[in-house]
Amino acid sequence: MEITIDTESDIPLFSQLVDQIKGAVQIGILSPDDPLPSIRQLANDLDLNNKTVAKAYRMLERDKVVRTKGYRGTYIHADARKNCTRDLNSWILTEISQVIEKLKDSGATDSEIRIAFADVMNNRNQD
């Protein structure tokens, strides 16, 4: 299977990689336990930074679409097809919207929510 990226697209490069790999899993081009190229190989083939491909692989691993078997490399996860259909972004939006609604109902202003959200995120990142 050939993977194609557009370097001038508005979609981030790692997202293009994630979307195409998920797409390939969904239509059955990639099956469970199929090996994926190493980060270095894919980055060099696409003339991208290794970190971009590593980020895409991390996202796929988080979504349980791929799994890393140590030095043996990255493989398609056994439940990849099922996990590909899960839209994490939409879930995040729903969850945050519910929290914001609850805070607003309690009388919190937009700026208070923003500052509190930023504080929590900053503290998490410092940890």
Partner 1 sequence: MSISILLNFVIISQLFLLSYYYPRKIIDRIHYMLTHYPASDYPKLYPGNNKMEKAGKSLRIFKLISWSTLTLGIILLLIANITHTEIKDSMVVIFGLIQFIPFALLEKAELNHYRLMRTENQNRIRSADLKRRRYFDYISPTVLITAVITFLCFIAFSFYRIILNQTFMSDGVISLTAILLMHLYFATLVVWVMYGKKINPLQTAKDREIYIGSVIRMTVYVSMAANCFMLIYGLLQLYQLDPWKPVALSLYFQLCIYLGLGTMLRTNKIEHINFEVYRENKITI
Residues that bind partner 1 (CB under 8 A): 1-8, 21, 24, 30, 35-38, 40-42, 44-48, 73
Whole-angstrom distance, CA of residue 117 vs CA of residue 50: 31
Burial 74-104 (b: 16+ CB within 10 A, else e): bbbbeebbebbeeeeeeeeeeeeeeeeeebe
Of 23 and 103, nearer to partner 1 (C-beta) is 23
Whole-angstrom distance, CA of residue 98 vs CA of residue 96: 5
The three-class DSSP label of residue 55 is: helix
CB of 82 to partner 1, least distance (A): 20
Of 43 and 83, nearer to partner 1 (C-beta) is 43
**Residue 118 dihedral angles phi and psi, to the nearest 5°:** -65, -40
Of 3 and 100, nearer to partner 1 (C-beta) is 3
CB of 108 to partner 1, least distance (A): 45
Name the β-bridge partners of 75. Answer: 35, 67
CB of 127 to partner 1, least distance (A): 36
Of 27 and 93, nearer to partner 1 (C-beta) is 27
CB of 68 to partner 1, least distance (A): 13
